[in-house]
Structure 1
Amino acid sequence: MLELAAVSVVAAVLLFDLVTLEPDSLATALALTVLVVIAVAWMAATIVGLLRGQAWVRASAIVWQVLQFAIGLGALQGSFAQPAWGWPIVAVSVVTFAILFAPSVVKATQSRAARD
Structure 2
Amino acid sequence: MSSPTEQYQPESLPIRTWGVWVVSLIVGLEALALLIIAIFFLVSLFTAEPNSLSGAVFLTVMLFALGSGLSAVSWQLFRGYRWTRAASLVWQLLMLAIAVPTLLGGQIGLGLLMLLPPLAVLFLLFTPNVVAFTLRQGNSAAL
Whether these two folds match at TM > 0.5 is yes
Q: How much has 1:48 moved relative to structure 2?
A: 3.0
Per-residue CA distance 1:22-78 (angstroms, 9 max, x = gap)? 112323322322221121121122123224321111111111111122222343467
User: Relative CO higher for 1 or 2, CA cutoff 8 Å, sep ≥ 6?
Assistant: 2
1:87 and 2:126 are equivalent in the alignment: no
Which stretch shifts more, 67-76 or 29-38? 67-76
Alignment size in residue pairs: 114
Match of 1:62 in 2: 89
Match of 1:13 in 2: 40
Q: Distance in 2 between matches of 1:14 and 1:74?
A: 23
Percent pairwise identity: 34
Q: How much has 1:6 moved relative to structure 2?
A: 1.6
Q: How much has 1:114 moved relative to structure 2?
A: 4.7
Summarize the Cα distance change of 1:14–1:75 in structure 2 as closer, same or farther, 3 Å threshold: farther
Match of 2:102 in 1: 75
Q: Which runs of 5+ in 2 are unaligned?
A: 1-27
1:102 and 2:127 are equivalent in the alignment: yes
The higher radius of gyration belongs to 2
Summarize the Cα distance change of 1:3–1:16 in structure 2 as closer, same or farther, 3 Å threshold: same
Match of 2:61 in 1: 34
Q: Which runs of 5+ in 1 are unaligned?
A: none
